[in-house]
Amino acid sequence: MSTPVDGENPEENPADVLPQQDDHVGGVAATKRLRPPARALKGLEDLSVVDSPAAKLAETLQRVLPTAASAFLRGHWLGHPLHPILVTVPIGAWIAVPLLDVTGQPAAARQLLAFGVAASLPASATGLVEFTTLDVAQRRVALLHMAANTLALSCFGRSWWQRRRGGHLRGVGWTVAGLTVAGVSGALGGHLSYSQGAGVGRER
């Protein structure tokens, strides 16, 4: 049991109040009781085929990133992970693009696409730093999360390019594809946080 810090009521500690989830309790039977989307996400935790590239990526990032830069990008100075904060910027921009399309503002839609692509760069950087802190099962899901993000980003970039060349309808199609993939990526990121507890309480 953890020792309470000054001014903290142990009875109000979420770690003591909330039921602890053990991935091993219940085994296959517990997994089968999950609804299909949750079961699919849970199954990705066993995707051991990605362990080797995931481990190499984590080792490379740990080697090339200075300790101070890593702590900054994780949000240690803020007391809260930066990644979930920064990802809202490109997502918000891209979600607004279809609204500009249906209201007849193609130039603004194209500019907002470009802004979202630019804003995704610092968000991606913080995500990569977070990757170095994960355990094996979390890395499996995180690697797929990163792959989906990369695919979504390529869709949005393609949408911008098509719009710039005058292919508005094709650009709209690529935007829809990007939002669909981004939704899948968001589900993976949510599983990392809410089911696997990645980064919970680390930067406090």
> Mean pLDDT for each 10-residue chunk of the chain (204 residues)?
50 44 50 79 92 95 92 89 94 97 96 97 95 94 96 98 96 98 96 88 72
The closest alpha carbon to 136, from 16, 36, 50, belongs to 50
The pLDDT value given to residue 35: 82
- Name, in order, each residue with C-beta under 8 angstroms of 188's C-beta and a sequence gap of 6 or more: 41, 44, 141, 142, 144, 145, 148
Q: How many CB atoms lie within 10 A of CB 178?
A: 23
Round to whole Å and give the CA distance between 41 and 99.
30
The pLDDT value given to residue 20: 43
Q: How many CB atoms lie within 10 A of CB 187?
A: 16
Are 72 and 200 spatial neighbours (Cβ–Cβ below 8 Å)? no
The pLDDT value given to residue 18: 42
The pLDDT value given to residue 181: 98
The pLDDT value given to residue 15: 42
The pLDDT value given to residue 73: 92
The pLDDT value given to residue 31: 62
Number of residues that make up the chain: 204
